[in-house]
Amino acid sequence: AQSVTQLGSHVSVSEGALVLLRCNYSSSVPPYLFWYVQYPNQGLQLLLKYTSAATLVKGINGFEAEFKKSETSFHLTKPSAHMSDAAEYFCAVSEGTDKLIFGTGTRLQVFP
């Protein structure tokens, strides 16, 4: 079965600093990979997805993620954090043909 590990349940950065949120998955077979964002009291919104095309995936709000098969990683980055990026971020991986497995989430705080 697939599993997803998000290193760091909380990440704090200053406004304007680089954002790096880490995600590692367990499969040796390249799966579909996703990053979602959740703002307070809302559902999850898709940020970006990897489906075996380009290994560098660009998403909404200036975020991007790079698929690295050798490291089984799919880390999320943004060059310059904005206060509005404060939210919880979830990495997810496809499991078989029917469902996704989600990580436990990373809460991003952005300080002025």
Among 3, 14, 26, 51, binds another protein (CB under 8 A): 51
- R_g over Cα of the chain: 13
Does 111 interact with another protein (rule: CB under 8 A)? no
Stretch that binds another protein, among 12-20, 27-35, 57-65, 74-82 (CB under 8 A): 27-35
Looking at the chain, which runs of residues are DSSP E strands? 4-5, 10-14, 19-21, 24-25, 33-38, 44-50, 56-58, 64-68, 73-78, 87-95, 99-102, 106-111
Instruction: Give the footprint of another protein on residues 66-95 (CB under 8 A).
Output: 90, 94-95
Which residues of this chain interact with another protein, rule CB under 8 A?
9, 31-32, 34, 36, 41-46, 49, 51, 90, 94-100, 102-105
